Amino acid sequence: MQLCGNDSMYFYAAYVFQEAGIPQDTIPYVVIGTGSCELIASVTCNMVIDYAGRRPLLLGGYILMAGWATVFMVALSQQISWMPYLSMACIFAYILSFGIGPAGVTGVLPTEIFDQMSRPAAYMICGSLLWFNLFLVGTAFPFIVKNLAHFCYVPFLVVCICTALYIGFFLPETKGKSFLEISEEFRKRNFRAQSREASYKGPEEIRSTTL
């Protein structure tokens, strides 16, 4: 989630808006607007997560973020008078897509896809990855901008696309399902497990006894 590029907009919001061509005296107000977008998105996600489901919000969020990142890079590369405002709109839309989808849903998923015994370890790994990736993005983004210029969001675009593909192929819907139902969905999506079962030619497993 931290590698999708949303945090780089917070770390270097003023710099990003300056590079996009926003007037210097307007940048502080635009930066406040990014926080407002996050607040609106969080409230919206809390309202719709139990109706829309986890998987559609995650999948739609990453797909929208990939689209907005593409438009943002195109806007940065064009020297037209109204392009800075398109860049600003893309940043707001990117943050809204992140807040409604990945930011709001990712924190809920570990409680639904891990059992009670695995959950502490899962949260420990998630927390470690979160802070490590925050540090990585915050440290690497200036070098990415320096080397890629207008195409600085290509790495984040790739992450969004790969994450959307992963969610589309491997992550089941968890809304309204028990842990056993979710585990069964994961088993069905595990291609290796299916291939091993199909290739097994031994005697049938004894599933019950007269006892």
Among the CATH numbers 1.10.10.970, 1.20.1250.20, 1.10.3720.10, 3.40.50.620, which is that of 2-187? 1.20.1250.20
Q: How many CB atoms lie within 10 A of CB 41?
A: 20
Q: How many CB atoms lie within 10 A of CB 78?
A: 12
pLDDT in tens, 107-125: 788 888 888 888 889 889 9
Rg (CA), the chain: 21
Mean pLDDT by 10 residues, the chain (211 residues): 81 70 78 80 83 88 92 80 79 87 83 85 89 89 85 90 91 84 80 50 49 48
Tell me the domain boundaries of the chain: 2-187
DSSP E strand boundaries for the chain? none
- Total-model pTM: 0.79
